A and B are shown apart, each in its own frame.
Chain A
């Protein structure tokens, strides 16, 4: 199994190397099929692993292989792979989406200028993502964390001729860096106290009390429990950046500048889920306070991004904010302790959001082709206001869109319902179970379910708004509409596969109850015991009871709010009973706020970047005017003056002596030069005289 895992890890790297080092030769030929083939091989391998996992059906199954990488005596870094059920499921998810996206891209990216480079970067992304999934330590996860960041940067900037794409790439990279600094600091704190990066060892040592024993001594008498909270939140900052949580979410909508299959693979299904995966991995050693922080960050992100998604007109932007919102859900779930639900939502979301993005890519592809035929380079192919009525022209895409929208909106019979419902039940149970601490005041914890249900309603609304604007109604641009046609098979097949994976029974077999998430998934994934022993630790048993109690009310409520959202969308966008424009004017400031993403980008630019640059300028001027002018140049001037004096003494005394020696030797040389006649016979005479003299001296 380890061998299989290593193959799955490194095969995409082979694909990368192949594409990068052979792109000249295969530019015109069918080089992409090597990459696609490799992806499908890894898919088969991961399915084999999946089958092995199912046949074992052991929730506590785990395997670890590690190798010393850096040995500094007391401090060692091991690299290795850790495999448990979560890993296997993640591998299958990554391989599935990646191989389908590869297949899809052969049509979507056909004729692109950097076609093979694109496939190469997909390869290195898949490699790094598998690395994150298989990592057994924080350190190794960090390495691959940065690698996915890099491949994300490269792929967002795939069309770097466009300024917006190049800038989006930079923005993604830099914003992630902010989170990663936190993550790295957290890692270092943990490694300093425990002397290891390994997940299992960290949990073990915390449980054994090593943390409580060491932390205070190493960090100036700080309360170990507080330090663990700080460390947990710091590591979680990495997830905030990568999973686009508030306030570092700003890069993800911009990242939609990349090719749409990339958005599906990286910015919807896998890489952004890495943050959630990281949180899953560090879950056992999060303190209650850290978890509360995580829950609130996730909850706020969920509803905040959802409100923005309502007013966006760009089809990919809507999906991007929807992704941010859904990631918020997962993070919130983990924060409230709904471990299984959070991870479950990660997996189901990967499927239906991947399908949504690929389907939107299919629409955009069709739009592009139509615009191309009309020689229209002005109209925005991604603007939903230019679409409408597409369902007759693109039946497969439309069908997939319907299924996946139903899934994300949490309608029964689809996978999203199961996972979302579990999360909402989790928040409910969490709120109901908080009895002490600061969360209990004013029933603060009840904000979380409110966020959750609110976001669920809004999600249903904006997703159906998207469907109605795109596929229903009349064609807003009849000219364009005329040339729209369904995408080729290599694009629709991945769509259909992912849509099938968004149906409920895939996840609940052998059970076929559409209202309950019991099945193989919940049987294999179980929340780990918290390693934290002190303070208000998360109590698994208590929580599980609460979860059962909250299940039914949460489900009913979620169905209600989702229905409400859909109803509103039907009224506004399908039946036009309520005018969207009037509503926008009525809501005024709220509408403008949502449309402008609550001015978050402006806040960053005006509130942080500009003042920072101004500060830099001031420091620079200080440097130039004061420091350079007076200190450095003044020092220079004084040195120059001193040097002049010293130079004079040098000229007269030292040089005089040197010149005198030179003159003497010049005279000597001038005298001796007459001996050097250049005639060989003279020299021979001298040799003979010399030899004779030597003989005479020796003998007498």
Chain B
């Protein structure tokens, strides 16, 4: 618990699991959860470095802003998801492939 690497490893694992969620899930809400995991991984890194390396509160502030950003992002993303659902009757991301032409 007093070693930086234990936090970094935790953060890397959390990041990878989030990434995996984002890449493989079909459900848009699930993907959103993956994004939250990734953001949490980043936050752990910031705060850990703040304690062990920089010794000031800048990392904390970054985390505050990230949390705020996550809240905003979740709100907007869910609004989009609702629209998508109204439009198509499902929220499967792999079927929302209008980009392909």
Which A residues form the contact surface with B (CB < 8 A)?
A: 676-681, 684-685, 688
- Report the tally of A-B residue pairs with Cβ distances under 8 A: 26
- Residues in A with CB closer than 8 Å to B97 are 677-679
Stretch of B19-27, B54-62, B67-75, B83-91 with 4 or more beta carbons under 8 angstroms from chain A: B19-27
Taking the complex as formed, is B2 at the interface, i.e. its CB lies under 8 A from any CB of chain A? Answer: no
- Residues in A with CB closer than 8 Å to B22 are 681, 684
Select from chain B the residue with minimum beta-carbon distance to A681: B23
Taking the complex as formed, is B98 at the interface, i.e. its CB lies under 8 A from any CB of chain A? Answer: yes
In Å, the complex CA distance between A688 and B20 comes to: 11
The reply to whether B100 and A676 form a contact with Cβ atoms under 8 Å apart is: yes
The reply to whether B99 and A680 form a contact with Cβ atoms under 8 Å apart is: yes
In Å, the complex CA distance between A688 and B22 comes to: 12
CB contact under 8 A between A688 and B98, given known A679-B93, A680-B93, A681-B24: no
The reply to whether A678 and B99 form a contact with Cβ atoms under 8 Å apart is: yes
The reply to whether A677 and B93 form a contact with Cβ atoms under 8 Å apart is: no
In Å, the complex CA distance between A679 and B68 comes to: 29
- Residues in B with CB closer than 8 Å to A684 are 22-23
The reply to whether A678 and B93 form a contact with Cβ atoms under 8 Å apart is: no
- Which of B24, B93, B97 counts the most chain A CB atoms within 10 A? B97
Which B residues form the contact surface with A (CB < 8 A)?
A: 19, 22-24, 93-94, 96-101
- Residues in B with CB closer than 8 Å to A679 are 93-94, 97, 100
Select from chain B the residue with minimum beta-carbon distance to A676: B100
- Residues in B with CB closer than 8 Å to A685 are 23
Extra 5 A-B pairs, beta carbons < 8 Å, given A677-B97, A678-B101: A676-B99, A678-B97, A681-B24, A681-B93, A684-B23
Select from chain A the residue with minimum beta-carbon distance to B19: A688
The reply to whether A681 and B94 form a contact with Cβ atoms under 8 Å apart is: yes
In Å, the complex CA distance between A688 and B94 comes to: 18
The reply to whether A678 and B24 form a contact with Cβ atoms under 8 Å apart is: no
List 14 interface pairs A-B (beta carbons < 8 Å), by A numbering.
Answer: A676-B100, A677-B97, A677-B100, A678-B98, A678-B99, A678-B100, A679-B94, A680-B96, A681-B93, A681-B94, A684-B22, A685-B23, A688-B19, A688-B23
- Residues in A with CB closer than 8 Å to B96 are 680
- Residues in B with CB closer than 8 Å to A678 are 97-101
In Å, the complex CA distance between A688 and B101 comes to: 23
The minimal Cβ–Cβ distance linking A648 to chain B, given in whole angstroms, is 38
- Residues in A with CB closer than 8 Å to B19 are 688
The 3 A-B residue pairs with the shortest CB-CB distance, nearest first, are A678-B100, A678-B97, A678-B99
The minimal Cβ–Cβ distance linking B73 to chain A, given in whole angstroms, is 16
In Å, the complex CA distance between A475 and B84 comes to: 101
Select from chain A the residue with minimum beta-carbon distance to B31: A681
The minimal Cβ–Cβ distance linking B92 to chain A, given in whole angstroms, is 10
- Residues in B with CB closer than 8 Å to A681 are 22-24, 93-94
- Residues in B with CB closer than 8 Å to A680 are 93, 96, 99
- Residues in A with CB closer than 8 Å to B23 are 681, 684-685, 688
Select from chain B the residue with minimum beta-carbon distance to A680: B93
- Residues in A with CB closer than 8 Å to B99 are 676, 678, 680
The minimal Cβ–Cβ distance linking B7 to chain A, given in whole angstroms, is 22
Select from chain B the residue with minimum beta-carbon distance to A684: B23
The minimal Cβ–Cβ distance linking A642 to chain B, given in whole angstroms, is 45
- Residues in A with CB closer than 8 Å to B100 are 676-679
- Residues in B with CB closer than 8 Å to A676 are 99-100
In Å, the complex CA distance between A31 and B65 comes to: 74
Select from chain B the residue with minimum beta-carbon distance to A683: B99
The minimal Cβ–Cβ distance linking B29 to chain A, given in whole angstroms, is 15
The minimal Cβ–Cβ distance linking A691 to chain B, given in whole angstroms, is 11
In Å, the complex CA distance between A685 and B22 comes to: 10
The minimal Cβ–Cβ distance linking A356 to chain B, given in whole angstroms, is 89
In Å, the complex CA distance between A546 and B19 comes to: 123
- Residues in B with CB closer than 8 Å to A688 are 19, 23
The minimal Cβ–Cβ distance linking A307 to chain B, given in whole angstroms, is 93
The minimal Cβ–Cβ distance linking A673 to chain B, given in whole angstroms, is 9
In Å, the complex CA distance between A677 and B23 comes to: 14
In Å, the complex CA distance between A676 and B99 comes to: 9
In Å, the complex CA distance between A695 and B93 comes to: 29
The minimal Cβ–Cβ distance linking A177 to chain B, given in whole angstroms, is 68
The minimal Cβ–Cβ distance linking B23 to chain A, given in whole angstroms, is 5
The minimal Cβ–Cβ distance linking B38 to chain A, given in whole angstroms, is 12
The minimal Cβ–Cβ distance linking A679 to chain B, given in whole angstroms, is 5
The minimal Cβ–Cβ distance linking B69 to chain A, given in whole angstroms, is 20
- Residues in A with CB closer than 8 Å to B101 are 678
